Amino acid sequence: MNSTARAGITYPITTSCGTMLITINTINCKPVEVLINIGKCGGCALAQSEASARLISLILQKSNIEISEVIRQLVSIQCNQPILNGATSCADAIAKVLSKYNFDNALTFVD
């Protein structure tokens, strides 16, 4: 990632692993980086979330894949401890936040 200044917004979302904080950073109103924080330092949930964030960021930076496709791949993935009327897994929580961001910002870009 280059040193261009980024703007970002952080969304909290409740998961069965605890509160997940998902930050979406943008350059020129285009999402380019996702950061995820959950649980204690060194925990499994944090490691899995960091891996997801890195892969999503790579997709946003290096491919022509739309954020809506990332959402489609993550939505409704289930774990063994879903939240009633909430996220069915950490991956689903990420999809919900990306979807909210996508809706809130009506993402349309012209290159």
Tell me the per-residue pLDDT of 18-52, one tens digit each, with 9 for 90 and over: 899 999 999 988 899 999 999 766 778 889 999 99
Which stretches within the chain are classed as H helix? 44-62, 67-74, 90-105
User: Distance of CA 32 to CAs 2, 17, 69, 71, 85, Å?
Assistant: 11, 26, 15, 15, 30
Q: Is pLDDT above 50 for 60?
A: yes
CA dist 75 and 26 (Å) reads: 22
* Other residues' Cβ atoms within 10 Å of the Cβ of residue 33: 19
Mean pLDDT of the chain: 88
Is pLDDT larger for residue 72 or for residue 85?
A: 72
Sign of the torsion formed by the C-alpha atoms of 72, 79, 20 and 34? negative
Q: Is pLDDT above 60 for 111?
A: no
pLDDT at 85: 80
The pTM assigned to this predicted structure is 0.87
